[in-house]
Amino acid sequence: MRILDKNSSLEDIDYREGAVILIDKPLEWTSFDVVNKLRHKLRHKYGLKKFKVGHNGTLDPLATGLLMIFVGKYTKKIPLEENHDKRYTGDIKLGVTTPSLDRETEECAPMPFDHISIDDIHKTASSFIGTSLQTIPIFSATKINGVRMYKLARKGEEFKVKSKEVVFHEIEITNVDLPIVSFDVLCGKGTYIRAFARDLGKKMKTSAYLYTLRRTEVGSYLAENAFSVDEFCDKLETSEYKSK
């Protein structure tokens, strides 16, 4: 595959024939915001009304990090490129939670956490390694009868929450400064790190939510090599391209 990162030359590339662009998604952008921005730039570059652009793994708006953006004919490859393991770093806040399990919604449900030791945190985190059943956060894009769960949750509607099998390959607690616990996780496709934060708290008999999140790896691809959105768009505008 043609993979484009910040070390790549963008000269003489026909994006209609396909490429994967590594993008470091900024905070508070949706994954669709990134797709839409690149689609607009590519449509303008080629003078086209339509241009195919997609990605192979959503990041929540309050997460940053690596998105693999597929353009042109490479959008057909997306179903074949959705099973990569992913690595995340971030912070979990103990002793309180939120309805969305991240900072999108207000804190609630305070619980004591002074009974938890650093050793407890390390041992409990390690207990997640392997395959397990994970309850999907209600604020997620998973559909219930064709409607995304987050839309139902925001309306206050009740529904049966779904679960799915997930796998954690590696879990490292990188720092503890209570109530904040920092982590580095390598997991399989479709794992919700917000749910991991929630469940880590539950196992230690407290509440918890995901305070920050960054996707650092998708398969063998690294966020440190990815373009910022502006970097790619600026480079695209000044590069030559193939025409037919």
DSSP letters along 49-96, please?
A: S---EEESS---TTEEEEEEEEEGGGGGGGGGGS---EEEEEEEEES-
Look at residue 142 in the predicted model and tell me its pLDDT: 75
Q: Minimum mean pLDDT among 14-28, 81-95, 139-153, 216-230: which range?
A: 139-153
The stretch 10-25 carries a mean pLDDT of 94
pTM of the predicted structure, to 2 decimals: 0.92
Helix axes 229-238, 31-46, angle to 10 degrees: 10
- Where do runs of H (alpha helix) occur along the chain? 31-46, 118-126, 149-154, 193-203, 229-238
Nearest Cα residue to 88 out of 59, 115, 112: 59
Q: Report which of residues 22 and 158 the model is more confident about.
A: 22
Is residue 244 very low, low, confident or very high in pLDDT (cuts 50, 70, 90)?
very low
Alpha-carbon gap, residue 127 to 150, rounded angstroms: 29
Higher pLDDT, 244 or 65: 65
Query: Which pLDDT value is given to residue 35?
Result: 97
* Catalytic center residues: 60
Predicted confidence at residue 240, as pLDDT, reads 67
pLDDT in tens, 212-235: 999 999 999 999 999 999 999 999
Question: Could you give the domains of the chain?
Answer: 3-83+222-238 (3.30.2350.10), 86-218 (3.30.2350.10)
Among all chains, which residue has been given the structure tokens 């917000």? 194
Looking at the predicted structure, is the pLDDT value of residue 154 above 60? yes
